[in-house]
Structure 1
């Protein structure tokens, strides 16, 4: 049987990403930026700008957290892969 761990679409991955940052754990991400894009690495920082939160990985990649659709195998509800 297939099983997919999901996060409600109204929720954000912010708290999960903060936890990975605090515990210095690597993240594997999927973002929907005009198509799905993959990113991996350690979270260097989480930045709040205006009304959006951004994730900065150790390789310098910056992502809008609202565009993240999966973190370490946890997907937003309604996301089909």
Structure 2
């Protein structure tokens, strides 16, 4: 689910830039860490901290916002 959410985040250039800026990740670090819980958690944290993005991502992925929040808790 976090990888799907990452795809949604990266599908918009401005949102992708904001994600990288807020997380401090470089594109290289993001690619290298795709299987790492910390990186996947950063994606879900990014969405959880921006209600509009959370709701829009959930709608685009056809899941509930609560499911994205629960997925973050599962990574912890």
| TM-score (normalised: structure 1) | 0.28
Higher share in helix: 2
Bigger radius of gyration: 1
Larger relative strand fraction: 1
* TM-score, length of structure 2 as denominator length: 0.29
